[in-house]
A and B are shown apart, each in its own frame.
Chain A
Amino acid sequence: MVEMKDVKVVYRSSDIVALDGVDMTINEGEFVFLVGPSGSGKTTIMKLITGELRADDGEVKVNDYDMRRIKRRKLPKMRRTLGVIFQDYRLIENMNVYDNVAFAMRVVGASNREIRRRVPYVLELVGLDGREKRLPKELSGGEQQRVAIARALANNPRMIVADEPTGNLDPVRSLELMLLFEKINELGTTILVVTHEKELVNAFAKRVVTIDNGRVISDGMDGYYSYEIE
Chain B
Amino acid sequence: MKLNRFFYLIREGFRSITTHGFMSFASVTIIMACLIIMGSAALLTLNVDAAIKSLEDQNEVVAFVDESYTEEQARALEGEIAAIDNISSVQFVDRVTAMNNFMGSYSESLMEGIDETVFRHRYVVQLTDISLMAQTKAALEAVEGIMKVNAHLDYAKTFVTVRNVVSVIALVLIAILAFISVFIMTNTIKLATFNRREEIAIMKMVGATNGFIRLPFVIEGLVLGILGGGLAFLAELGLYRLVTGRVVGGITGAIFSVVPLSQVALPMFIAFVGTGVLVGVFGGVNAIRNYLKV
Contact = CB atoms under 8 A, between A and B. Distances in A.
B263 interface: no
Interface stretch (A11-19, A106-114, A127-135, A212-220): A106-114
Contacts of A73: 209
A80 B199 contact: no
B205 A106 contact: no
Interface in B171-215: 198-199, 201-209, 212
B4 A112 contact: yes
A50 B206 contact: no
Given A79-B206, A79-B207, A103-B206, A92 B199 contact: yes
Nearest to B201: A90
Nearest to B16: A94
Given A90-B201, A92-B199, A94-B19, A76 B207 contact: yes
A151 B19 contact: no
A52 interface: yes
Contact of A155 (B5, B207, B294): B207
Interface in A72-94: 73, 76-80, 84, 90-92, 94
Interface residues of B, number: 19
Interface in A45-98: 50, 52, 73, 76-80, 84, 90-92, 94
Contacts of A91: 202
A13 to B, nearest CB: 16
Given A90-B198, A94-B19, A109-B5, A80 B207 contact: yes
Given A52-B294, A92-B202, A106 B207 contact: no
A151 B208 CA distance: 14
Contacts of B289: none
B22 interface: no
Nearest to A112: B4
B207 A77 contact: yes
B290 to A, nearest CB: 14
B8 interface: yes
Identify whether the interface residues of B are mostly helix, strand, loop, or mixed.
Answer: helix
B294 A151 contact: no
Contacts of A126: none
A77 B204 CA distance: 11
A104 B205 CA distance: 9
A107 B201 CA distance: 13
B19 A106 contact: no
B2 A109 contact: yes
A38 to B, nearest CB: 22
Nearest to B199: A92
B5 A84 contact: no
Given A76-B208, A76-B209, A90-B198, A107 B294 contact: no
A84 B212 CA distance: 19
Interface string B1-37: 1101100100000000001000000000000000000
A107 B199 contact: no
27 contacts: A52-B294, A73-B209, A76-B207, A76-B208, A76-B209, A78-B207, A79-B204, A79-B205, A79-B206, A79-B207, A80-B207, A84-B206, A90-B205, A91-B202, A92-B202, A103-B206, A104-B206, A107-B207, A107-B212, A108-B206, A108-B207, A108-B208, A109-B1, A109-B2, A109-B5, A111-B4, A151-B206
